[in-house]
Amino acid sequence: MFNVAGNQIVWFIAVIAAGEGSAWPGVLAAAVFVGMHLAWAPRRGDEVRLVALAVACGLVVDGVAAAQGWVTYRASMAGGATAPAWILALWASLAVTLNGAMRSLQARWWAGALLGGIGGPLAYLAAARGWGAAEFASPAWRGLLWLAAAWAVALPGLLAAARWQAGRSQYASR
């Protein structure tokens, strides 16, 4: 329960603060959440690698969306041509749910693809329309299509990485 609630709290803090023009409350909230998770994680190294992989996915997914001008993120640096810190913090926060709340999806790539392909763009749309944390260029379908496709690949990929690490760690402990 902490895993789901913590991730949702981080999402709301990051999105609301970004809508107000500040990235740092979301970054701080994610750092606290991820740090608490890592403090309790039995395989800390695996979790750190998942966080790094998720942030790398965020750099690509949101970096492409920003660079193409499909999505403009509030509270961004570098003229808005890259993924902002608060978005990357959300990717880090997501990573610590892969072996927690989303563990049951690890063996179901299609469910991860469906969740990512639908839930990913809906979260961005909610952040944009509800709090002004992002803005889609017209026509919005281009940015939403990119996010749907990218998340439909990224989430199952991250889940597969989590499953692979769990299997590797289990095998190594024998």
Q: For 64-76, b where at least 16 C-beta lie within 10 A, e where not — what string? A: bbbeeebbebbbb
The dihedral through the CA atoms of 98, 83, 138, 146 has a sign that is: negative
Q: What percent of the chain is predicted at pLDDT more than 90?
A: 90
Residue 174: what pLDDT? Answer: 45
pLDDT average, residue stretch 43-70: 97
Note if the bond before 139 is cis, omega within 30 degrees: yes
Report the range of poorest mean pLDDT among 54-58, 66-70, 166-170: 166-170
Q: What is the mean pLDDT of the chain?
A: 94
Per 3-state DSSP, the chain is made up of helix, strand and coil in percentages (nearest 5) of: 75, 5, 20
Q: What band does 170 get if pLDDT is binned at 50, 70 and 90?
A: low
Beta bridge partners of 71: 136
Q: Per-residue pLDDT for 94 more than 80?
A: yes
How many angstroms separate the CA atoms of 54 and 51, rounded?
A: 5
Per-residue tokens: 154:
């990224």
Residue 130: what pLDDT? Answer: 98
Q: Residues for the chain: how many in total?
A: 174
Whether the Cβ atoms of residue 157 and residue 95 lie closer than 8 Å to each other: no
pLDDT average, residue stretch 4-8: 96
CA atoms within 13 A on the CB side of 28: 7
